[in-house]
Each structure stands twice: as structure tokens, then as C-alpha cells.
Amino acid sequence: MSTELYSSESVHDKPPAGHDSQESLHPELKLKRKEFKRLFDTTRELDGWERYRALIDASDEAYDLIDISNREARFALIVMGALNAMPLLLLTKTDIIASMTRFERLWMVTFLIGYAVLLLYFILQAIEALHPGRFRPSLKGWPSDSPDFPIGIRYYEDVIQRTVAEQWAAWQHVRLSQLNAELAVQLHGLALKNDAKHRAVRRLFIGLRAMA
């Protein structure tokens, strides 16, 4: 009797046939799945969370470009201050002005007026580069009943139109597609702002070269 029990237990303890071979092939199967997924990744569409992370990365890059434009504009203002020192120094030299002829004084006044106009243009471009204004994309061509229509839960002008409870309720019911759509709208607005800033910085440095 004990022999039969022992034999039955030993049979149950043995792994099923082919189990070892399946374990040895398992890493190869995983490798093939990874290779297949890698091939498929080049043509497949992004899922919702991948799209969200990509939009966040693109927004961060847009804000980095804004910071670069601001630094360039501030550098141009520093150079402008150094260039303005020479005309101001000339105006303090009264003995030089007194020794000038009438024609030379007329020429100097014309030069200073032109320089003042150029300086005003330069200052306006610096203001435009540092504060280009509001850029909010239009959603006229986007049906409001679309399932991915942005409901305005991230942009501050939309947020302050709600109470705290209403804002929290909006976050409770927002869909990932709506959140991604709002990120895409914000990214478009940042692109418009960057374009305006880069144009202003380009004109700013053109004026700086003219002053130099």
C-alpha cells in the first residue's frame, strides 16, 4: 500500500512533459515579441498617454525657445546701452559744440534726430520681443460637440471663469482625448508666440547693426 502511495506521489511531483523545453524557449519568444513590437512601433499611431507625454515635451521645448528669445533681447538691450553712451558723451562736450559751424551743427541735429528715431524703433522691437502679446488659436473650425473638443481646464483664462468646485468637477469628467486636444491648442499658441518673438528679435538685431 505504501509503495502505491509513494509511486502516485512521485508521479504528481514530476513536471509535465515538455515543460523544460518551454522554459528554455521562453526568452527567445520574448525576444521575438520585442523585435516585432519594435518593427510595429515605426508605423503605429501613438496611444493616448504617449500622445500626452509627447505634447508635454513639445510644450517644454516651446517654453525653452521663449527663454532663449528673452535672453537674446536682453543681450541686445545691454549692447544698445553701450552704444548710446557715445552720443550722450558727445552732447556733454559743450566746447566741441560751440566750436562747430552752423552747417556742422545742422548736420549734428539731423544725425541726432535720426538716431533718436532709430532708438525708438529699437526700443519698440525690444518690447515686442520680450512681450509679444496674447496669442490664442481660434477654434472656429472645431465642432463643439466633437468628443475631443477642449473643455478649457488647463489655460488660466478658462480656469478663472469657473469656481473651484466647477473646476474640480470638470477634471472629474475630462477625457484623455480632450486633455490632449487642449495641450495641442496650447502648443499651437506657443508656436505663434515664438514666431512673433523671433521676428521681433531679428528686427531688433537689424536695428542694432544699423546703430553700430
The count of other CB atoms within 10 Å of the CB of residue 129 is 25
Q: What is d(CA 122, CA 80) in angstroms, rounded to the nearest whole number?
A: 9
Task: Outline where the chain has alpha helix (H).
Answer: 2-13, 19-41, 48-92, 94-98, 102-130, 156-159, 164-173, 176-211
Q: What is the pLDDT of residue 40?
A: 65
For residue 19, what are the contacts with CB-CB under 8 A and spacing of at least 6? Answer: none
Task: Give which of 132, 50, 49, 124 is closest to 80, Cα–Cα.
Answer: 124
Whole-angstrom distance, CA of residue 132 vs CA of residue 193? 7
147 secondary structure, DSSP code: T
Cell numbers placing 188: 499651437
Residue 35's pLDDT is what?
Answer: 66
CA-CA distances (angstroms) from residue 29 to 16, 20, 21, 40? 20, 14, 12, 16
pLDDT of residue 60: 95
Q: Rounded to an integer, what is the distance from CA 176 to the centroid of its chain?
A: 20
C-alpha cell at 80: 544698445
The grid coordinates listed for 37 are: 513590437
Task: Say which residue the cell 465642432 belongs to.
Answer: 143
pLDDT of residue 89: 72
User: Average pLDDT by consecutive 10-residue portion of the chain (212 residues)?
Assistant: 44 48 55 64 80 94 92 87 74 72 82 82 82 76 87 87 93 93 92 90 83 70
